[in-house]
Amino acid sequence: MIPVRGYENQTVAILGLGRSGRATAKALMAGCANAVAWDDNPAAREAAEADGIIIRDLSRQGAFLDVSCLVVSPGIPHLYPTPNAVIAAAWDANVPVDNDIGLFFRSFASRDWDEFDQPPRVVAVTGSNGKSTTSALIHHILTQAGKPAQLAGNIGRGVFDIDPAIDGEIVVLELSSYQTELARSLTPDIAVLTNLSPDHLDRHAGIGGYFAAKRRLFAEGAPDRNIIGVDEIEGRFLANQLSEAQGDDRVLRISNTRKLDDAGWTVFARKGFLSEWRKGRQIGSIDLREIAGLPGAHNHQNACAAYAVCRCLGLGPKQIEEGMRSYGGLPHRSQLVGEKDGVTFVNDSKATNVESAAKALQAFKRIRWICGGLEKEGGLDGLLPHVGSVAKAYVIGREAAAFAMKLKDVETEVCTTMENAVALAAAEAEEGDTVLLAPACASFDQYNSFEKRGEDFIAQVAKITG
């Protein structure tokens, strides 16, 4: 556990008692703060009380009279579409509002570091798609190379659940826009933006607010190295803002759509080959085409980001390549879950938006596509140019029929349930086909999470593959 520093003998309030809220309360108490907490869910309050967390109704009058800070869980809106009432009350009481990420960056360093030969470092990864795979891949490459490393944030453990850092250790954090937009302290040593596409637009009042939330990771903390995906205009804008000159190697540009061989430090992937260029010369390359855990151009972009981070951390190209070749992939992200009679079954339940689903569709040649669910803002128009490899779509979800009607020029079958979709897709698949779950939608019309949806897919595949 990482104790929260800077609030000794002060009262700190926590709003939201999910995983991050409860971990934050315990970390505050470990740092000798007086933690009080509230959640609208009675079951969450009861579980927290059983852990020794003091419950205080933060919605009542005068609840903030003795409070030094309010710590908000990431799922609670603080500005758009409307501020949570408790957060608004904290504003009115002039109480600073923060989140667990902000407290972590204030608290991670300790006096023990004075005795270390190499200070620990933090790598923070954000972006619309690929940040989980990129974070996990960085962590995997580092550990395979014998480097001490921990993985936390929006993946793995909560930031306060990690162990105190040891000499030379690297902490890899996956951070969502919900986490970066509110944190008062953001000071990673290396920061990564994988890409940007429309997501969470209601929470950020549009794409501009969404990008602004991501941008804070780079603008607020001034990382030593900035690794920026430049396949979208926002990434090119950000890389330009952070650079002082053409050859400024504090900014590494990455791409999976075009060659980057200018005077700077770049990593790009084209036709399955990763290349590293520095000062106009190629100094490293990897053939990504046969790396099973990184299929498709979208994973090649993730590989570029991970490669760039590991090079900044002192690893050589051969070490990085060895780590990539042993990487098995993440659950629910282009995860190979079965094979029978020449048909492969791939679980990409994490493809919850149009952009990520489009990338999944580009990774395989002939696809039996399982899709549908709770459609996100923006519709499906951005997906339609990428359905050329789809032999047939098998649509699930409560609004499956309406979803199927939007898939123009694609043969569709309304299946509604995962069980029906997998069974029919498997029965109709031919040798060489891929049965791909890439929903392009949220899961909440039928499942509690994308993980549960993916687990259902895996269970249905197991019935077929034995």
What residues are designated binding site? 127-133
- Helix runs in 313-417, H state only: 317-325, 354-361, 400-405
99-to-19, 70, 135, 181, 390 alpha-carbon distances in Å: 13, 8, 21, 10, 43
Binding site for ATP, by residue number, is: 127-133
CB atoms within 10 A of CB 81: 9
Question: How many angstroms separate the CA atoms of 228 and 226, rounded?
Answer: 6
Helix 207-219 and helix 233-242, axial crossing angle in degrees, nearest 10: 30
- Distances 194 to 128, 223, 302, 424 between C-alpha atoms, Å: 7, 16, 7, 36
First to last CA, the chain: 42
Structure tokens at 376: 């996100």
Q: What's the rounded Cα separation, in Å, for the pair 58 and 55?
A: 9
Q: What 3-state class would DSSP assign to 249?
A: coil
Sheet of strand 335-340: strand arrangement: 335-340, 343-347, 434-437, 367-371, 390-396, 412-416
